[in-house]
Amino acid sequence: MDVRSFEKFNPIARFRAPAPTVGVLRLYGVIGTPSPWSRHLSLAGLAQGIEKVFKFRHLKAVALAINSPGGSAAQSALIARRIRAIAEEKDVPVFAFAEDVAASGGYWLACAGDEIYADENSVIGSIGVVSAGFGLDGLIERIGVERRLYTAGDKKALLDPFLRAKPEDVKLLQEIQSDVHESFKRMVRERRRGKLRADEDELFSGQFWTGRKALELGLIDGIGDMRTVMRERFGDKVKLRPAGLRRSWWQRRHGHGIAGGAAPPGPADWADGALAAVEERLWWNRFGL
């Protein structure tokens, strides 16, 4: 009788060490406050999944599947901090895998990993801060509209798009951006300590690179996809287990962002949805995607 036949008729012989499990947390999309029209990444939306992915049986590691052009710095920091806190509490290694793009806030999320991998064609980096808007003061003058704005506090109407930008207001915005940039740089320095191989003036300029160049700069640890790297690390029997979130019937039918029991969208909501779609598309377009 061969080994397989023996195991078939002898249940005791069939008991083996369980296959190692790697929990997979998908971080796809623009980072920011979610709405009925977006799948933005936020701590509120991901907290349940983060908790769940670290509770799988026979867990050997957690893998972050990242495809994000960035977004809110605050939400990027909160998500990454929660992942690191639980990883250290559970003593579980975290691996980050960039797909099309892990840039700006997306790279901030990648830094939650103990090791970062990407495809050689992935877009990596953009360690900087950007604020964008429109100046419409000339438009309303041409069409004969008078702007009436009343505030208590001389900075309450800071950078109002219908008013001409004041140098002192722009300076204040740049100071805020500088503070956020410093926070981003501290995260990268801490998580990539001893691995960065370029001057900070280059790394923290807001520039972005392909995965191959990012490897040369020390922003990532290797070129590779999740399945291949995890099989190399934990063996061919490793199980990649996604941390799916439960959604209500209404959410499954009408979209990720709408809470169960929410009222159907009205005309104003459709307009908001169109603007949100354009804004989200612009985030991806920054990286040629």
Give me the active site residues, please: 104
What is the rounded distance in angstroms from the CA atom of residue 100 to the CA atom of residue 94? 20
What is the rounded distance in angstroms from the CA atom of residue 84 to the CA atom of residue 88? 6
On whether the CB atoms of residues 115 and 222 are closer than 8 A, the answer is yes
Secondary structure E strands in 79-122: 94-103, 115-118
What is the rounded distance in angstroms from the CA atom of residue 288 to the CA atom of residue 234? 35
What is the rounded distance in angstroms from the CA atom of residue 46 to the CA atom of residue 243? 10
- Residue 178, both tokens: 């500088």
Q: How many CA atoms lie within 13 A of 101 on its CB side?
A: 21
Compute CA distances 173 → 75, 154, 155, 181, 220, whole Å. Answer: 19, 15, 11, 12, 31
Residue 225 is given by DSSP the state -
Compute CA distances 252 → 44, 184, 226, 259, whole Å. Answer: 18, 35, 27, 10
Q: What are phi and psi of 136, to 5 degrees?
A: -110, 10
Nearest to 276 by CA among 98, 29, 17, 26: 29
Radius of gyration of the chain (CA): 23
Question: What DSSP element (H or E) covers 125?
Answer: strand 123-125
What is the rounded distance in angstroms from the CA atom of residue 87 to the CA atom of residue 73? 21
